[in-house]
Amino acid sequence: MAQGDGGIRISDAERDEAVSALGAHMSTGRIDVSEYEERCGLAAAARTRADLETLFRDLPAPHPDLSSATPPVDLVRRTGQLVSRPAGKDVDRGRGQCQRRRHEAGPARRVRTVGPPV
């Protein structure tokens, strides 16, 4: 985990995975039923990566996969995709074109289509 990622919000899927991992630890005897219940309650209430990671600090694998709770900058670096609209761009949602460019091209022309609508 990179420094500062602990504050990233987690999803329900990551909470569920943490509860499953805690169940595996209980079934192997690493934690007892009361500790399992306590940690499951904390997992259900967790909001950030750090909240979940704290529950597994003293346990070996398995741990929940928290790789999807990654800061946006790391996602862009890892996938090469832009995950949010750049500031200052006026994006026409659904078409992927800039509003300015569409207006600069002139008025829209009607096009008659043949066949069923797509």
Q: Per residue of the chain (118 residues), what is the pLDDT tens digit?
A: 444 578 999 999 999 999 999 999 999 999 999 999 999 999 999 999 999 999 999 999 999 988 887 776 655 555 555 555 555 544 445 544 444 444 455 555 555 556 666 5
This model's pTM is above 0.75 = no
Show the tokens assigned to 73.
Answer: 């900058």
Among 59, 51, 63, 61, smallest CA distance to 5 is for 51
- Among positive and negative, which fits the CA dihedral 71, 77, 79, 82? positive
Q: Domain residue spans in the chain?
A: 1-74
